[in-house]
């Protein structure tokens, strides 16, 4: 399987309004040291909507340079403008990303025919595998299984990051498309049952701050050690919930600051989380034995 296991949807650290590349490099090293199977820069967790195009591209370049081939990188390359997405895609391919994460176009609400045209236009310009990012909670529209089947016929449209939390879907897609179509959960709280339903891994928010536990959980799954998987998942469930008690990555950035990974600085319109949310994050980190 080209991409499987625990992939981290990397946060983008800021300091005084600018990208903090020193903290970013340290975060990447922390990930690799703790067994993360792959990295995903400039997704939603990386605050891609508020990065300039120049920052977006540099964050990917720095990630690729720092990783230096040690783990695969799936670079965020989505936009609700097909022309912009093609620009991001071409850059990520030339920079050396191993794959591309392309979100369904948000806000302008294309039809299924529009989604198909968008992804095929991107695939024709790509030299790397494309992972469809289906997240109706942020994009408003979702992709049907039938549209995904049609798109999967293109050699470079290779899988899905599924943030629908629909646990029947992995099995349906297995029946519809087959074993070779990569299925990655985009929802930490259901990542383990997603694996049980036929998924291959997770692109995780929580892995930013619990990379060791999550890489161990995915390793245990592959080894058939279900009891270990269940114990780790139980330990992390309060954290999965706490990190989404407000809009991500606000709670995540606060958790990362408590662990000394980076500051909790975000970009508007994401703001500092409420005191009661901070208490939830702290409590969950203690349950997970991270602080």
Residue 78 has a pLDDT of 96
**Rounded distance between C-alpha atoms, residue 284 and residue 259, angstroms:** 13
Provide CB contacts within 8 A for 178, sequence distance 6+. none
Residue 217 has a pLDDT of 98
Look up tokens 């709280």; give the residue. Answer: 189
Domain ranges in the chain? Answer: 5-225
Please list the active-site residues. 133, 161
**Rounded distance between C-alpha atoms, residue 34 and residue 26, angstroms:** 12
In terms of CATH architecture, what is 5-225?
Alpha-Beta Barrel (3.20)
β-pairing verdict for 130-134 and 74-76: unpaired
Residue 1 has a pLDDT of 76
Q: Is 102's pLDDT higher than 90?
A: yes
How many of the other CB atoms lie within 10 Å of CB of 17? 7
- Interval 22-42: pLDDT, tens: 999 999 999 999 999 999 999
Q: Is 191's pLDDT higher than 90?
A: yes
Mean pLDDT, range 88-110, rounded to an integer:
97
Residue 53 has a pLDDT of 98
- Interval 147-187: pLDDT, tens: 999 999 999 999 999 999 999 999 999 999 999 999 999 99
């Amino acid at each position: 399987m080209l991409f499987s296991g625990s992939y981290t949807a990397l946060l983008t650290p800021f300091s005084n309004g600018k990208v903090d590349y020193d903290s970013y490099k340290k975060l990447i090293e922390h990930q690799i040291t703790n067994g993360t199977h792959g990295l995903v820069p400039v997704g939603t967790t990386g605050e891609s909507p508020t990065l300039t195009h120049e920052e977006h591209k540099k964050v990917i370049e720095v990630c690729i340079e720092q990783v230096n081939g040690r783990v695969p990188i799936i670079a965020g390359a989505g936009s609700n403008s097909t022309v912009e997405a093609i620009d991001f895609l071409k850059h990520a391919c030339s920079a050396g990303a191993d794959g591309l994460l392309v979100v369904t176009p948000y806000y302008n609400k294309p039809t299924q025919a529009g989604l198909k045209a968008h992804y095929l236009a991107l695939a024709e310009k790509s030299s790397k595998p494309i992972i469809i990012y289906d997240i109706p909670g942020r994009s408003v529209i979702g992709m049907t299984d039938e549209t995904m089947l049609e798109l999967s016929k293109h050699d470079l449209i290779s899988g899905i990051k599924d943030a629908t939390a629909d646990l029947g879907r992995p099995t349906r897609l297995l029946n519809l498309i087959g074993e070779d179509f990569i299925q990655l959960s985009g929802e930490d709280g259901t990542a383990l049952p997603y694996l049980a339903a036929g998924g291959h891994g997770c692109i995780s928010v929580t892995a930013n701050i619990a990379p060791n536990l999550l890489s161990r959980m995915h390793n245990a799954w592959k080894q058939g050690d279900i009891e270990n998987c269940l114990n780790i998942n139980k330990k992390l469930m309060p954290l999965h919930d706490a990190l989404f008690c407000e809009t991500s990555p606000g709670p995540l950035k606060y958790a990362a600051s408590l662990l000394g990974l980076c500051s909790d600085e975000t970009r508007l319109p994401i703001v500092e989380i409420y005191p009661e949310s901070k208490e939830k994050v702290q409590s969950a980190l203690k349950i997970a034995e991270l602080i």
